[in-house]
């Protein structure tokens, strides 16, 4: 619930006015929202609903101060507003030509060979990619010319019972506009938005797992690189290494490692107390979101004591994590040629590989502040353990079953233990 110190305004704009706001960058997407989900049929359904006067969920916009600059960010409504713009242009991005490079590997062995039509796959595209930095160049004709020259868009033909101009100028979409209290501290504003994003996500404005987490920390200057696994210089500490899942190269879920190892420490290094209550794959995303909430100071949703004995100060005091991230990056960069990666995709071949290489390394360097002697014996020990586990059909088929995951975590930590200083 919003405090009385914050103001909320309600109203409606014509569809054309919404489009103009987008073209002039008077409303923008927050950094954590990086994907468009809807397909042609979803766009058509929205336009049909608007044309027939049916209720369409209002858009939510918030006034956000970014340094000295005020911005109006779209909290809820990206799919609807983007669909209006695409209808106006008469084009839609070809989903096969915009790979979602931000998609994380989810580690759900139970999803093998299953398809869920209710799960829309996002693409690596947002309406911002249509716009020029010069707002004067963001006219209908200019954007259409750029689209046609690009070659990655297909025609979007939606039947209207009136001209497109008449429809857009005389059809309305509602909004709520949130203005935080003035003169609040940066911390208060960050907490306000993080809480707002979280509540909206749980109450129905569903984001992807990665967007959901980013919405909680994207305003916190001290948290972005930590959760994203990036050094002070904004370099990926995993050196761009991905993970092969369902034959697709996907981002490694760095928060997964942070959350699990933090709880391992919180539970006095008792591996059997890690992920208690989260044996089901479907529940683990809420576990990772709770970890992010714990670190940024928000209320957790479930089992709220699970990270209690972990003290984040051991990482954030004097930004010690930044120095340790740099060290991890250097270790990985110097050793990745021996990690058995898929050469073409620069990716671990599965969770077994990734976890044996990463859990022990992150534990000893990031959490214990140690250095690692990456010699031939250590490399051979890790590769041998990986090969043994892959020979076990039951294990390799379900590597993220809780018992298998726990054994892999502790085994990786113990292998590295003999090579730390």
**1: in domain:** no
Q: Please tell me whether residues 189 and 287 are part of one structural domain.
A: no
Number of structural domains found in the chain: 2
> What pLDDT does residue 206 have?
59
Q: Please tell me whether residues 145 and 75 are part of one structural domain.
A: yes
Q: Is the pLDDT of residue 186 over 90?
A: no
**2: in domain:** no
What does pLDDT average to over the chain?
88
- Residue given tokens 């979007």 in the structure block: 156
Query: In whole angstroms, what separates CA 367 from the centre of its chain?
Result: 24
Question: Regarding predicted confidence, which is higher, 206 or 110?
Answer: 206
Q: What is the pLDDT of residues 259-309, one digit of tens each?
A: 999 999 999 999 999 999 998 877 898 899 999 989 988 888 889 999 999
Q: Please tell me whether residues 120 and 239 are part of one structural domain.
A: no
**214: in domain:** no
Q: What is the pLDDT of residues 22-43, one digit of tens each?
A: 999 999 988 776 678 899 999 9
Phi, psi of 73 (to 5 degrees): -105, 145
Taking the C-alpha atoms of residue 217 and residue 405, their distance in angstroms, rounded to an integer, is 27
Q: Please tell me whether residues 242 and 385 are part of one structural domain.
A: yes
Length of the chain: 421
**218: in domain:** no
Phi, psi of 327 (to 5 degrees): -65, -40
Q: Is the pLDDT of residue 371 over 50?
A: yes
Q: What is the pLDDT of residues 64-83, one digit of tens each?
A: 876 678 889 998 899 999 99
End position of a domain, from candidates 182, 208, 234: 208
Q: Please tell me whether residues 130 and 84 are part of one structural domain.
A: yes
Q: Please tell me whether residues 101 and 198 are part of one structural domain.
A: yes
- Residue given tokens 């096969």 in the structure block: 96
End position of a domain, from candidates 151, 174, 208: 208
**19: in domain:** yes
> What pLDDT does residue 217 have?
80
Strand order in the sheet with 248-250: 248-250, 242-245, 347-348
Phi, psi of 74 (to 5 degrees): -85, 110
Q: Please tell me whether residues 60 and 176 are part of one structural domain.
A: yes
Q: Please tell me whether residues 136 and 235 are part of one structural domain.
A: no
Tokens of 188: 């208060």
Q: Please tell me whether residues 263 and 392 are part of one structural domain.
A: yes
**213: in domain:** no
Q: Please tell me whether residues 349 and 410 are part of one structural domain.
A: yes
End position of a domain, from candidates 208, 238, 253: 208
Q: Is the dihedral of CA 322, 328, 333, 339 positive or negative?
A: negative
Q: Please tell me whether residues 295 and 374 are part of one structural domain.
A: yes
**377: in domain:** yes
Q: Using pLDDT thresholds of 50, 70 and 90, give the confidence band for residue 1.
A: very low
Q: Please tell me whether residues 361 and 233 are part of one structural domain.
A: yes
The predicted model gives 386-409 an average pLDDT of: 94
**What is the full DSSP assignment across 168-186?**
HHH-EEEEEEEEPPTT--H
Q: Using pLDDT thresholds of 50, 70 and 90, give the confidence band for residue 395.
A: very high
Taking the C-alpha atoms of residue 130 and residue 147, their distance in angstroms, rounded to an integer, is 8
**23: in domain:** yes
Q: Is the pLDDT of residue 47 over 70?
A: yes
Phi, psi of 348 (to 5 degrees): -60, 145
Residue 265: domain span: 224-417
């Amino acid at each position: 619930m919003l405090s009385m110190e914050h103001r909320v305004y309600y109203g409606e704009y014509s569809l054309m006015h919404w489009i103009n706001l987008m073209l002039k960058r008077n409303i923008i997407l927050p950094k954590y929202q990086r994907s468009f989900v809807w397909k042609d049929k979803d766009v058509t359904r929205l336009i049909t609903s608007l044309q027939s006067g049916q209720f369409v969920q209002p858009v939510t916009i918030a006034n956000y101060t970014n340094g000295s600059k005020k911005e109006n960010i779209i909290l809820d409504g990206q799919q609807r507003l983007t669909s209006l713009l695409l209808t106006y242009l008469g084009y839609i991005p070809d989903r096969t030509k915009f790979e979602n490079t931000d998609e994380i590997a989810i580690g759900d062995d139970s999803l093998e060979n299953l398809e869920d039509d209710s799960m829309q796959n996002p693409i690596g595209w947002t309406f911002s990619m249509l716009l020029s930095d010069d707002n004067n160049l963001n006219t209908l004709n200019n954007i259409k010319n750029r689209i046609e020259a690009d070659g990655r868009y297909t025609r979007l033909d939606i039947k209207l019972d009136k001209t497109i101009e008449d429809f857009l100028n005389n059809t309305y979409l509602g909004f709520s506009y949130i203005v935080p209290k003035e003169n609040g501290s940066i911390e208060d504003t960050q907490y306000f938005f993080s809480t707002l994003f979280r509540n909206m996500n749980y109450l129905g404005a569903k984001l992807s797992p990665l967007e959901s987490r980013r919405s909680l920390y994207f305003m916190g200057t001290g948290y972005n690189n930590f959760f994203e696994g990036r050094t002070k210089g904004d370099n990926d500490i995993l050196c761009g290494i991905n993970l092969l899942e369902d034959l697709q190269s996907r981002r490694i879920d760095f928060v997964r490692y942070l959350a699990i190892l933090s709880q391992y420490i919180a539970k006095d290094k008792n591996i059997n107390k890690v992920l208690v209550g989260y044996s089901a794959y479907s529940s683990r995303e809420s576990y990772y979101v709770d970890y992010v909430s714990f670190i940024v100071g928000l209320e957790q949703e479930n089992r709220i004591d699970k990270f209690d004995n972990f003290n984040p100060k051991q990482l954030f005091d004097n930004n010690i994590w930044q120095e340790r991230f740099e060290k991890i990056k250097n270790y990985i960069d110097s050793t990745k040629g021996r990690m058995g990666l898929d050469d073409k995709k620069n990716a671990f071949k599965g969770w077994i590989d990734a976890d044996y290489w990463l859990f022990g390394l992150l534990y000893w360097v990031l959490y214990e502040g140690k250095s690692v002697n990456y010699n031939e014996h250590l490399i051979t020990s890790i590769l041998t353990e990986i090969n043994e586990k892959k020979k076990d059909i039951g294990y390799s088929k379900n590597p993220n079953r809780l018992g298998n995951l726990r054994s892999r975590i502790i085994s990786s930590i113990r292998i590295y233990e003999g090579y730390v200083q």
